[in-house]
Amino acid sequence: MNAADQRQDPLTQATVTVAWVVIANKPFYPLYVWYLVGNGVSASLWTLVAAPFLLTVPFLAKRSPLAARIALPLIGTLDTLFETRLFGQNSGTELFFAACIMLAAMSFRSKEAWWQRGMAAFVFVVFVASRSYTGAPLHVWSESDLATLFNLNAFAVASLTTFVALRYAGISRQ
């Protein structure tokens, strides 16, 4: 951990850590799709679009810890919406909204309750919109491919939410 990270408060440190873990895992998703599904790899490369936005989180943290803690669930929510549009509702990408809500629940101090409520409500509203307005996926998948993608995404969400719970465990929200 460098000197700048040591000056960050524990909630912001946790947020930056989660951002780096997501950034580090983003390039592997198209490889998983290639290995497990065998097609749609070019479509899955579009999931990398969020990486530059996620890279802003560690840089924001140095200037405004609150902005970084808002940015991570915000970017995650918009990325989840985009991927749901790309892969379709049956792919399980919408499950990532749960991780975004968890980040909203864990990332704020008690005095930042309105930011926490606002982010949780934002994630929920985007989720509802994704259920109603995403339309047909941008890539056509077979039922078998969708089942494989659903399993991949369910495992990824379970892994991410577990990591978030472990990383934020014991951090004071005061």
- Write the pLDDT tens digit of every residue in 82-109: 999 999 999 999 999 999 999 999 999 9
Measured in whole angstroms, the distance separating CA 73 from the mean position of its chain's CA atoms is: 7
pLDDT value for 6: 53
Closest CA to 108 of 21, 22, 15: 15
What does pLDDT average to over the chain? Answer: 93
Place of tokens 């995650």: 76
Mean pLDDT by 10 residues, the chain (174 residues): 64 97 96 92 93 97 96 98 94 97 96 97 97 86 95 97 97 88
pLDDT value for 80: 97
Find out whether 19 and 58 touch, Cβ atoms under 8 Å: yes
* Ordered DSSP codes for 2-57: -HHHHHS-HHHHHHHHHHHHHHHHTTHHHHHHHHHTSS-HHHHGGGGGGHHHHTHH
CA–CA dist 137, 143 (Å, integer): 13
How many residues are given for the chain?
Answer: 174
pLDDT value for 135: 82
Closest CA to 92 of 101, 103, 102, 83: 83
Three-class DSSP category at 95: helix
How does pLDDT run across 111-128, given as a tens digit for each residue?
A: 999 999 999 999 999 999
pLDDT value for 5: 47
Neighbouring C-beta atoms of residue 25, cutoff 10 Å: 13
What are the residue ranges of helices labelled H in 55-142? Answer: 56-63, 65-87, 96-106, 113-133
pLDDT value for 1: 46
Whole-structure pTM value: 0.92
Place of tokens 């949780």: 120
